[in-house]
Structure 1
């Protein structure tokens, strides 16, 4: 039950998230039209109808503004990661987790999918954006490792946990890049299947492990 005390907090959080998303969309749109070097924080703030001061309350750099995870993906992540089972092999479970996450993108047809495709295509030609994404991925990976370690009853220093999570994350990155390339090259036929691309990437990794 939502209490009167909870309601203002929920409203503030929704407003905060809405502002964050509006700034992010403005940044992504400007980057696509002008390139990252061709726009400033002031340009993004003006497009999002906020002040530069407000911008910096949300993001440290203009590149970070374009890298907001879609709320559907975040919600799925929180739901799935808590369902990990400590008594079963971890890597297959992490791969299944990523499949559920990637399914939210619906091959670029959902709002989250369109956002991801735009980002992956931009990162191919914008080194500063890709570097910012790599740094953010490192931060998120550490958070993910800590979450997984807590669920399975170990610590973030557990080498098996770290290797598993980082390996799975690398495979997702490879799959996203291959998928974005395929989407960009496509002229006819169905939209490239992101989940199938990820499964193929995982299969290639397992073949390499077998030697």
Structure 2
């Protein structure tokens, strides 16, 4: 799918994720309105100019954190053997990405829930979430293209990528409003009623 990252790119991604975590922590404590870019940079241990090298504004800073789940999902999906039914592949990869063991995975879900709750009252944060999902859909398309049945036309491929991305997005948004520990059941319900149905 994606080419391997260079050392410089990996360091950049790690710095962006450090800033994203710092922003999420401060948003949880003080809300986006009560948080400044200077505070985020200080919490992340970087200069303010470094913050603005990577992000346009404070809400934009959480983009890497919100994107990480989609990155895991696509990586797992990309490892699916050809010939696997597409809906089955989409669901299995989503469930696996949301069921990873360990504190890091649990922390990622906690951050996602907190950010999605905060986004309900913050248009700029919602815009970041929608942008992350649009970018995820675009990255998903070549993976879907490889796994789709031969002869699937461009409309079917794009609709499947869009439906799968939106199924995950809406599932996470609904889950974030509940006290359920995991979004897996929401995702299974959503993917079972949508993507892949065009095939």
Distance 1:199 1:82, change over 3 A: closer
Give the structure with higher Rg (CA): 1
Confirm or deny: 8 A CA contact 1:105 1:113 kept in the other structure: no
Distance 1:166 1:24, change over 3 A: same
How many residues align? The count is 190
Give the TM-score normalised by the residue count of structure 2. Answer: 0.76
Q: What are the equivalent positions in structure 2 for 1:126-205 lying under 5 Å apart? A: 126-150=122-146, 158-183=154-179, 191-203=180-192, 205=193
Equivalents in 2 of 1:34, 1:162: separation in Å? Answer: 39
- For structure 2, the 5+ residue unaligned runs are 1-5
CA deviation digits over 1:113-148, x for unaligned, max 9? Answer: 222222222222222201121022112211111333
Q: Choose between structure 1 and 2 for higher RCO, CA contacts under 8 A separated by at least 6 residues.
A: 2
User: Which structure features the higher share of helix residues?
Assistant: 1
Confirm or deny: 8 A CA contact 1:91 1:164 kept in the other structure: no
Confirm or deny: 8 A CA contact 1:76 1:100 kept in the other structure: no
- For structure 1, the 5+ residue unaligned runs are 1-8, 184-190
Give 1:56 shift: 2.2
1:96 aligns with 2:85: no
Partner SS, residue 63 of structure 2: coil
1:24 aligns with 2:24: no
